[in-house]
Amino acid sequence: MRAKVYVTLKPGVHDPAGKAVVGGLNHLGFDEVKGVRIGKFFEIELDEGPDAEARLKAMCEKLLANTVIERYRVEIA
Amino acid sequence: MRAKVYVTLKPGVHDPAGKAVVGGLNHLGFDEVKGVRIGKFFEIELDEGPDAEARLKAMCEKLLANTVIERYRVEIA
């Protein structure tokens, strides 16, 4: 089975890389861009199991996300 | 308006970071995980315009994605 995990910075957490992208896009002429926040996602290929969703959340808590500053969303395809 | 841009490695492009995540998850006891590919996404806040989608694609081509090894998907919320 396949799952997707989206990890984003929590609101209020400073995102300097996102700010740099805004600057870059504005500089290239895309003046309509006002803000960018960067996140990452993981496409995970895993064996099926009855508790897949709970285990995916555990993976996020333990490795994929830094829950102090990030939140995550699990999507099972 | 808000848009999301998802950037992923093209199939066949080696993803050493994803391989490292597989190793880490297996090591933590998540033996069901067989593969991971890592992508990134951008949450973009921008002023509305009639050609927003075309302009977002141009942003991907010029800055957000390396189209030699990555593909992108634009989603307008």
Chain B residue with minimal CA distance to A18? B42
The mean predicted confidence, pLDDT, of chain B is 96
Task: Give the DSSP letter string of B55-68.
Answer: HHHHHIIIII--TT
In which band, very low, low, confident or very high, does the pLDDT at A77 lie, cut at 50, 70 and 90? Answer: confident
Q: What is the ipTM of this complex?
A: 0.88
Closest chain B C-alpha to A20 CA, distance in angstroms = 11
Give the model confidence (pLDDT) of A21-58 as tens digits. 999 999 999 999 999 999 999 999 999 999 999 999 99
The answer to whether the beta carbons of residues A26 and A34 sit under 8 Å apart is no
pLDDT at B77 over 90: no
With a CB-CB cutoff of 8 Å, which residues 51-70 of chain A face chain B?
Answer: 52, 55, 58-59, 62-64
Beta-strand runs (E) in A1-77: 2-9, 33-46, 70-76
| Total-model pTM | 0.90
Chain A residue with minimal CA distance to B23? A63
Give the model confidence (pLDDT) of B7-32 as tens digits. 999 999 999 999 999 999 999 999 99
Q: What is the mean pLDDT of residues A56-73?
A: 97
The whole-angstrom separation of Cα B67 and Cα B13 is 12
List domains and CATH numbers for chain A.
2-76 (3.30.1280.10)
Q: What is the mean pLDDT of residues B35-58?
A: 96
The whole-angstrom separation of Cα A19 and Cα A37 is 8
